[in-house]
Amino acid sequence: MVSSAPLFFRDVQFYLDVLVLIGSIVVQIVAFVHCVTQRGDGFQAIGTLPKGAWLGILAVCVLLTLLGRGGGTGIFSLIGVAAALIYLLDVRPGLRDLSDGKGFW
């Protein structure tokens, strides 16, 4: 039986899965590190979950992405990326606006 897919299909799929996994882990770790470096009272001031809750959510997401099956496209990895992006695109700008609006992050 002859396969119609090129011989290198599995190799390309593997490398793309590894790239997606690395990208999702990087996004989640950046969100976690940013959350660790912020002041706790800022979270209450912008009306979001407390700092401890965000730390817990992001830490669990990173662990489930690293330990889960399916690589970067598994359900836990996708949920982790979604949580990290919500933090980075919603909470981080609020924290930045609460301070002087400057800074590396």
Half-sphere exposure of 35 (CA within 13 A, CB side): 28
In the DSSP assignment, the letter for residue 70 is: S
Please give the residue that has the higher pLDDT: either 15 or 70: 15
Q: The pTM is what?
A: 0.85
pLDDT of residue 4: 67
Give per-residue pLDDT as tens, 52-100.
Answer: 999 999 999 999 999 887 777 788 899 999 999 999 999 999 999 887 7
What is the model's pLDDT at position 68?
Answer: 83
Residue 105: pLDDT over 70:
no
Structure confidence at residue 102 (pLDDT): 63
Which CB contacts under 8 angstroms, 24+ apart, belong to 89-97?
A: 90/48, 91/35, 91/43, 91/46, 91/48, 91/54, 92/31, 92/34, 94/46, 94/48, 95/38, 95/42, 95/43, 95/46, 97/46
